Amino acid sequence: MTAERSPTNPADDLDDLADDPIDGARDDERALARELSSRRWTPRALDVGDAPASDVDELLRDDWDSPASHGDRDDGRDDDDDRDDGPPDPWDVPAWARRPRVDPAHTSRLAAVCVAALGVILFLGDMLGWYEAAPTPLGDDDPAFADAGYELEVLSGLAQIEDASGAEQFTLGRGLRPGERIVCDDATRARLAVGSLGSVDVRPGSALALRSAGEDGTWMLDLERGEVRASIFAAPRLFQVGTPAGVAVDLGCMYTARVEDDGSTRLTVEGGRVSFETETRRVLVPAGAETRARPGQPPATPVWTEANAALRKAIETLDASAGSWSSDDAAALDEADARALDEVLAVPGARHSLTLFHLLDHPRRAVREAVYDDLARRVAPPEGVTRAQVVDARSSAARDLWREELEFGW
């Protein structure tokens, strides 16, 4: 005899196997079927009686929470045999203990923002000196004062250090003092730290002397020959580099100064501004411009570094015709000066106002008149600045007011 089994309810098969003799079924199989059948969870009907439909949910909840509905019943079985045969209760885990869903994309964006913010903080801290130890104040009469000012780092070769008498000195383990000289041969490069203001790179074949180390309010070097590149971030006029042709007064910038064997100097500004000064003339050199000077002569009118040879030659001609910049010559221009002036005025653009502005103080009245009229067409002078003030009176205050307007184009 073969028992028919339900194709849709496997639980019925367990009952048949447990209660009916089945051909081929062993005793151990029937025992296992009886055990599984006894542990099968059978939903029981809940009599709601005449309860309103609105109370059915409450009745179901009360019935589900009762111990009998979860297998906590006294049916003669051991506690170890108790089973939770019902479906899982979603309220078994408190809401506060449930793990929230984390969006990986949101986590990645948050991490990137945090890393970027940390990088900005570290960069600003380094620029503002947050991580540097505060220097110990030193008095002017303290012998360690000068040692705390300059510090030399030899990048290649061997730098020679000399005192005021020319005797070679050894500087291992200490700073440099005012009065000492640094001499680099053609194979030597060095870097000079200027207190907390910045540094000066000393190129091969250069010689410079230390004149002051901040004790009188300024830091000053004398470049005797060769080339240096200064990177200074300080208040205007705090750092200066003297040359045989004039003084480069730092206004907070980066620039290169080169002195040839005859003392002629070339100043090229890479960032910020530099005022190159002599007793007779002062020129302002912004980033991207340059000027030249010779010993005993006023510095040349500044030009942009990309200026062509024709413009440079014209500027050189006009500067040579100036003679003494403190004089006032009303004579007419000769043919060479007139051609040079035409060459200068023919350069287009408001940026060319850098060169034109410095010609407003030319001692030749004819140059001042022509330059004023041309410059006024490019950038109008501010209110209160008149032609008479600039051309006739040569007022430096009027020129400075106009320069403030012109600098926006430099």
Q: What is the pLDDT of residues 131-175, one digit of tens each?
A: 544 433 333 344 443 444 899 999 999 899 988 776 675 544 468
Mind giving me the DSSP string for 172-206? TTS-B-TT-EEE--TT-EEEEEETTTEEEEEPTT-
Band of residue 316 on the pLDDT scale cut at 50, 70, 90: very high
First to last CA, the chain: 111
Q: How far apart are CA 90 and CA 94, in angstroms?
A: 9
The pLDDT of residue 326 is 72
The pLDDT of residue 56 is 56
Strands 198-202 and 219-232: antiparallel
The domain spans of the chain are: 1-42, 149-300, 307-410
Calculate mean pLDDT across residues 6-14.
51
Q: Is 49 left (phi over 0), alpha (psi -120 to 50) or beta?
A: left
The pLDDT of residue 122 is 76
Beta strand spans in 195-326 (E): 198-202, 207-213, 219-232, 239-243, 246-250, 254-259, 265-271, 273-277, 282-286, 289-293, 303-304
pLDDT of 269-290, one tens digit each? 999 999 999 999 999 999 999 9
Q: How far apart are CA 389 and CA 241, in angstroms?
A: 33
Q: Which fold has domain 149-300?
A: Jelly Rolls (2.60.120)
Among 213, 230, 242, 222, smallest CA distance to 151 is for 213
The HSE-up count of residue 185 (CA atoms within 13 Å, CB side) is 6
